């Protein structure tokens, strides 16, 4: 009986000790992590690396939420929410997409990441479009972690029974996780198949154009009097155009070759006029030379005052002729930039990756991209979206012209900006994980436009 009591005490002490060790390890897991900032680190990168939201990192480390800037060598505290536990299904909060909403904006509003929203809603890893009226899960996760503390039992048989139940639960959860992963993979595969199955539309009235150096979708659309969207629908396009690539242009309303012929016809009369003017100038010069010779002959046979008078008149005639020639040599000064040049320049950055706080072709955020393009043409519109919305005259989107700025969000608190190309197309640096590209606002309506003064 005494030996039995000693054995029971050893079992209880061993179980309680194991429980204490488990609790201690759980506490260490819940501790925040520190990260030393190295070159090229961004808050976005860290949020993806540690699986937390940008907002939580910035709040914990008092980082400016407008610039999102961190410096090399800085030590940041990374919050963690991971716990070791059994997982149980839970209900997630949902929102209905409104005009102007994006995955990026929803992630910032609800303190999560774009990647988590994609996983939560079964979206492809490169998906970025959401539509007005869509119901999006934004809060919580498909599975939630809860912490279960080990409990000491009074008998060996009870402990064995609990261990068996825990093993069974873990196996069930592993099976559910595998099924969820399989479902997500299947949905992603279906989405990819649907995307690949899209067949370009070719109209009965179409022409074929070969891409040349310096071309962009916008300049080609302008040549043929069509929209950028129609070019995309008629062709399977990659991120950038390639020189020599053949494009189908549906229902063109302009003929570039006819425009060139008309331009040459307009230049022919101008050349004739120039030749005529040159002939008249030559004749005038010859006449002036003859007059000068006569004046010299006359000056030799007349008095000195008369010669002085003729010399003065000749001098005045020469000055008047020089002034007339100088006036004719003046030409109109061109404007500082043209809209077509600005739009073509903007599209040369297609494919540049989005970098939070980026202001150079190594990486842009939305306002860094627009600032860089307008600065190239001598226009200082400010660095941030907040400053740029006051850089000119506010307009309704329906009144916007190509080259105007498009803004999403209320006037005074806009959160995204792009450059209007015409029709329903614009170019922008959209959001983390993507690159500068031409987009349509058919399902992502801007709130207002600004014409840069």
Q: Which positions ≥6 away from 213 have C-beta within 8 Å? A: 243
Indicate the pLDDT class of residue 146, thresholds 50, 70 and 90: very low
As a whole number, mean pLDDT of residues 374-398 equals 96
User: What pLDDT, in 10s, does the model give residues 351-360?
Assistant: 999 999 999 9
What are residue 124's phi and psi, to 5 degrees? -65, 155
Per-residue confidence (pLDDT) for residue 12, from 0 to 100:
40
Residue pair 404/449 in contact (Cβ under 8 Å)? The answer is: yes
**How high is the pLDDT of residue 182?**
53
Beta-ladder partners of 94: 137
| Mean pLDDT, rounded, for 264-291 | 48
CA–chain centroid gap for 92, Å, is: 30
Mean pLDDT of all residues in 322-332: 39
Instruction: Please name which of 95, 199, 78 lies closest in space to residue 140, comparing C-alpha atoms.
Output: 95
CA 31 to each of CA 78, 81, 342: distance values in angstroms, whole numbers, following the listed order:
10, 9, 51
Alpha-carbon gap, residue 130 to 136, rounded angstroms: 9
Q: Which of the four pLDDT bands, split at 50, 70 and 90, describes residue 304?
A: very low
What's the pLDDT tens digit per position in 205-240? 999 999 998 788 888 988 898 888 888 889 988 767
- Exposure on the CB side of residue 20, measured as CA atoms within 13 A: 6
Instruction: Give the percent of the chain with pLDDT over 70.
Output: 60
What does DSSP say about strands 416-422 and 425-428: parallel, antiparallel, or unpaired? antiparallel
Q: What is the mean pLDDT of residues 363-385?
A: 96
Q: How far apart are CA 78 and CA 245, in angstroms?
A: 48
Whether residue 51 is predicted with pLDDT greater than 90 in this model: the reply is no
The pLDDT tens digits of the residues spanning 408-429 come to 999 999 999 999 999 999 999 9
């Amino acid at each position: 009986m005494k030996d039995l009591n000693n054995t029971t005490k050893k079992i209880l002490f061993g179980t309680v000790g194991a429980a204490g060790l488990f609790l201690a390890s759980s506490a260490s897991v819940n501790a925040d992590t520190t990260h030393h900032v190295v070159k090229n680190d961004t808050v976005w990168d860290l949020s993806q690396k540690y699986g937390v939201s940008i907002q939580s990192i910035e709040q914990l480390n008092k980082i400016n939420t407008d610039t999102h800037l961190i410096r090399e060598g800085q030590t940041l505290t990374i919050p963690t929410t991971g716990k070791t536990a059994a997982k149980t299904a839970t209900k997630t909060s949902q929102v209905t997409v409104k005009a102007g909403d994006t995955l990026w904006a929803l992630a910032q509003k609800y303190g999560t990441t774009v990647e988590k929203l994609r996983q939560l809603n079964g979206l492809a890893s490169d998906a970025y479009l959401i539509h007005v009226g869509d119901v999006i899960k934004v809060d919580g996760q498909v599975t939630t972690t809860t912490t279960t503390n080990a409990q000491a039992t009074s008998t060996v048989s009870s402990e064995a029974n609990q261990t068996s139940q825990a093993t069974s639960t873990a196996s069930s959860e592993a099976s559910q996780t595998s099924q969820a992963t399989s479902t997500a993979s299947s949905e992603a595969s279906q989405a990819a198949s649907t995307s690949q199955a899209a067949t370009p539309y070719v109209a009965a009235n179409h022409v074929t154009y070969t891409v040349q150096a310096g071309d962009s979708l916008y300049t080609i659309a302008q040549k043929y009097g069509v929209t950028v969207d129609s070019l995309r629908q008629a062709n399977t396009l990659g991120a950038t155009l390639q020189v020599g690539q053949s494009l189908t242009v549906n229902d063109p309303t302009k003929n570039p070759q006819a425009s060139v012929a008309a331009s040459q016809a307009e230049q022919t009369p101008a050349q004739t006029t120039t030749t005529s003017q040159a002939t008249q100038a030559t004749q005038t010069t010859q006449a002036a030379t003859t007059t000068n010779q006569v004046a010299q002959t006359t000056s030799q046979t007349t008095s000195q005052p008369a010669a002085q008078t003729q010399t003065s008149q000749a001098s005045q005639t020469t000055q008047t002729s020089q002034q007339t020639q100088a006036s004719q040599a003046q030409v109109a000064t061109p404007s500082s930039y043209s809209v077509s040049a600005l739009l073509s320049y903007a599209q040369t950055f297609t494919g540049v990756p989005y970098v939070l706080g980026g202001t150079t072709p190594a990486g842009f955020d939305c306002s860094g991209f627009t600032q860089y393009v307008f600065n190239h043409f001598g226009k200082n519109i400010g660095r941030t979206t907040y400053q740029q919305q006051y850089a000119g005259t506010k307009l309704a989107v329906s009144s916007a012209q190509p080259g105007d700025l498009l803004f999403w969000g209320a006037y005074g608190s806009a959160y995204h900006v792009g450059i209007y190309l015409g029709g329903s197309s614009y170019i922008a640096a959209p959001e983390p994980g993507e690159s500068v590209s031409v987009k349509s606002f058919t399902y992502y309506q801007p709130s207002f436009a600004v014409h840069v003064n």
